[in-house]
Structure 1
Amino acid sequence: MYDALILAGGSARRLGGVDKPAVDVGGRTLLEHVVAAVADADRIVVVGPHRPLPFEVVWCVEDPLGGGPVAAIAVGLAHTSADVVLVLAADLPSVAPAVPVLLLGLSAEYDAALLVDAAGRSNHLAVAWRRDALTAALAALGEPADAAVRALTSSVAVAQVPDPQGWGRDCDTWADVDAARQALGDQQR
């Protein structure tokens, strides 16, 4: 049992300011891919502007608007209630296989489990959290607006979940979007 918190705001500067969660990849928007990946969550909270979705979700926006991912996590967490909260960016079209792996990675000894790619880079927006640890990390951080999201994990026990398949690869640039389209197209064949 878990709740999912999906961050779907941001300015998408590297994509020319388009509505990134609404970008089509493989016949679905980026946001639809991520929401579908967590369809078994008890509650799905999307932090960002309201968009048409074929799923039931709770909508909210960060305060202040444009305050960044930590501000979005802080406002979204208030709409969840499960002991485990999965935090995902809305631009992870291949994240579905990572969801159960992240949840399993959150064993008794860890406060959070996050994806780590083949190059050793941690994805701080593909993380399963114990609710109490995330609440404490947010409180310790102070003002969430414009805070670095990696600071949330700096004082908690983190399980590093290997991601050799690139499940946590995000779509920050048009080259990333093209690669995701190609990868999803290859999977559908």
Structure 2
Amino acid sequence: MPGGRYDAVLLAGGRARRLGGADKPGAEVGGRPLIGWVGGAVADAERLVVVGPPRAVLPRAIVVREDPPGSGPVPALRAGLAEVRAPWTVLLAADLPFLRPDHVAALLDAAGTGGAVLVDQDGREQWLAGCWPTAALREALAAYGGASLRGLLGPLGPVPVALPAGERPPWYDCDTPDALLHADRLAVPYDP
């Protein structure tokens, strides 16, 4: 990635249906809200843009909402990207408790002209854990009428990035109550 400058967009406005509509980004793992863990992974971003409701845990964040709220990741990305100024954009879900700065650095280091996307242990792309040239994202969004992140981001030709999983894989997301409990059991307690 040329220049090392990036902004981060965290998608934090979903409906969390599998969590009964609970505030998933605000759910705690290891004593810290999920969105706090993800925000910590991009602490060196020039701008931190959160698409979702305001959160005290990320006081420096620029907060925007997709229209209408809860309409999905493509409209959320569109809303967040409007606030991005850096040449690179790190796009992340707000429920990745084991994502760390070194994982984000690995994505940025690996990025080719089409960006980079984290892949899980089975080689599946994790579209809400990647970095992208901002101009390419804007161009793709302007021409895209679909609702799938894969449909939007896949054609950009991102470099797949496989990272060691260990017991705390960086792509682990908390979509269900069981996943949230499991993450909490594995988490290293947060000590501010």
TM-score (norm: length of structure 1)? 0.91
1:41 corresponds to which residue? Answer: 45
Q: 1:16 aligns with which of 9, 15, 20?
A: 20
1:150 corresponds to which residue? Answer: 150
Moved more, 170-179 or 11-20: 170-179
Q: What is the rounded CA distance, in whole Å, between the counterparts of 1:139 and 1:26 in structure 2? A: 40
2:177 corresponds to 1:174: yes
Q: What is the rounded CA distance, in whole Å, between the counterparts of 1:161 and 1:54 in structure 2? A: 27
Offset at 1:57?
Answer: 0.7
Q: What is the rounded CA distance, in whole Å, between the counterparts of 1:152 and 1:98 in structure 2? A: 23
Change (3 A) 1:55 1:37: farther
Maintained 8 Å contact 2:30/2:190: no
Q: Percent identity?
A: 44
Q: 1:74 aligns with which of 62, 78, 84?
A: 78
Instruction: Encode CA deviations 1:144-188: one digit per residue, 9 max, x unaligned.
Output: 6xx011111232121000033120111101121122112213899
Q: What is the rounded CA distance, in whole Å, between the counterparts of 1:55 and 1:187 in structure 2? A: 18
Q: What runs of 5+ residues in structure 1 fail to find an aligned partner?
A: none
1:121 corresponds to which residue? Answer: 124
Change (3 A) 1:31 1:186: closer
CA RMSD of aligned residues (A): 1.6
The DSSP-based 3-state class of the residue aligned with 2:43 is coil
2:134 corresponds to which residue? Answer: 131
Maintained 8 Å contact 2:118/2:162: yes
The DSSP-based 3-state class of the residue aligned with 2:187 is helix
1:59 corresponds to which residue? Answer: 63
Aligned pairs for 1:98-109 within 5 A:
98-107=103-112
Q: Which amino acid aligns with 2:44?
A: D
Q: Which amino acid aligns with 2:124?
A: R
Q: What is the rounded CA distance, in whole Å, between the counterparts of 1:163 and 1:176 in structure 2? A: 20
- Number of aligned residue pairs: 183
Offset at 1:54?
Answer: 4.6
Offset at 1:124?
Answer: 0.3
Moved more, 63-72 or 47-56: 47-56
Offset at 1:36?
Answer: 1.1
Q: What is the rounded CA distance, in whole Å, between the counterparts of 1:162 and 1:73 in structure 2? A: 24
TM-score (norm: length of structure 2)? 0.90
Q: What is the rounded CA distance, in whole Å, between the counterparts of 1:134 and 1:94 in structure 2? A: 26
Q: What is the rounded CA distance, in whole Å, between the counterparts of 2:139 and 2:69 in structure 1? A: 23
Q: What runs of 5+ residues in structure 2 fail to find an aligned partner?
A: none
Instruction: Encode CA deviations 1:119-149: one digit per residue, 9 max, x unaligned.
Output: 111100001000111111111213x6xx011
